[in-house]
């Protein structure tokens, strides 16, 4: 996978480090231009450093770019502009360590199965049971199917089912009872 790097600044165009009064330089920190120039000039080496610690190119690029952003936001603390590269390198190392810690934590959490998590075999078995139930439900009379679906899948009371279907409470009980008996026979025969 090709690595896309920022445009490098030609060596002749590099800006010399400005040495003003030492008090002024200490107060100002590194300049944005100097930081950007250092980042562009050393992007590939910073990427290589991240690659030694991480395993994929995308993560390496993310770490290097995040290092630039963090050093940029704290550039006033970089008292000596010649230490800008050292700050960038140290930030790349720290961010790489953090990325590795997050990965390790993620792997630890993923490696422990959830206590109530079904295995793949159980999931396949459940799917087969669902398919058999759907097939058996299709074999019921229309009213029996409607009563069972509303009663057990929609979680309605018998009175609510009677009102929804416009039939008596006794009919709901009768259709429900006959439907369950027919499902038992159908599901028992297919097992």
Q: For residue range 11-38, list pLDDT tens digits in order.
A: 544 444 444 444 444 345 678 888 899 9
How high is the pLDDT of residue 111? 63
Q: What are phi and psi of 53, to 5 degrees?
A: -100, -30
Give me the helices (H) in 9-119, please: 22-28, 32-41, 43-53, 57-73, 84-111
In whole angstroms, give the CA distance from residue 150 to residue 4. 59
How many helices and strands, by DSSP H and E, does the chain display? 9, 0
Q: Which residues, 6+ apart, have CB-to-CB distance to 84 below 8 Å?
A: 30, 34, 35, 38, 71, 78
Give the residue with greater pLDDT, 191 vs 80: 80
Residue 40 above 60 pLDDT?
yes
Residue 173 above 60 pLDDT?
yes
In whole angstroms, give the CA distance from residue 50 to residue 25. 30
Q: Are 28 and 76 in contact (CB under 8 A)?
A: yes
From 22-31, 99-108, 117-126, 177-186, the region with the lowest mean pLDDT: 22-31
**What is the residue whose two structure tokens read 């360590």?**
97
- Give the pTM: 0.45
Mean pLDDT (the chain, rounded): 81
């Amino acid at each position: 996978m090709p690595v896309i790097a920022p445009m490098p600044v030609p060596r002749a165009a590099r800006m010399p480090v400005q040495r003003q009064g030492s008090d002024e330089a200490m107060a100002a920190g590194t300049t944005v231009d100097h930081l950007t120039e250092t980042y562009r000039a050393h992007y590939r080496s910073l990427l290589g450093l991240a690659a030694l610690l991480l395993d994929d190119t995308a993560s390496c690029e993310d770490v290097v770019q995040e290092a630039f952003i963090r050093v940029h936001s704290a550039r006033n603390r970089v008292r000596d502009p010649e230490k800008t590269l050292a700050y960038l390198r140290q930030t790349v190392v720290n961010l790489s360590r953090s990325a590795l810690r997050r990965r390790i934590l993620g792997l630890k959490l993923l490696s422990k199965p959830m206590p109530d998590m079904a295995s793949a075999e159980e999931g396949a078995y459940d799917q087969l049971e669902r398919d058999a139930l759907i097939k058996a439900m299709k074999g019921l009379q229309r009213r029996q199917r409607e009563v069972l679906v509303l009663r057990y899948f929609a979680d309605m009371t018998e009175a609510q089912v009677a009102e929804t279907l416009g039939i008596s409470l006794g009919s709901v009980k009768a259709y429900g009872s006959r439907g369950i008996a027919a499902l038992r026979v159908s599901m028992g025969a297919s097992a």
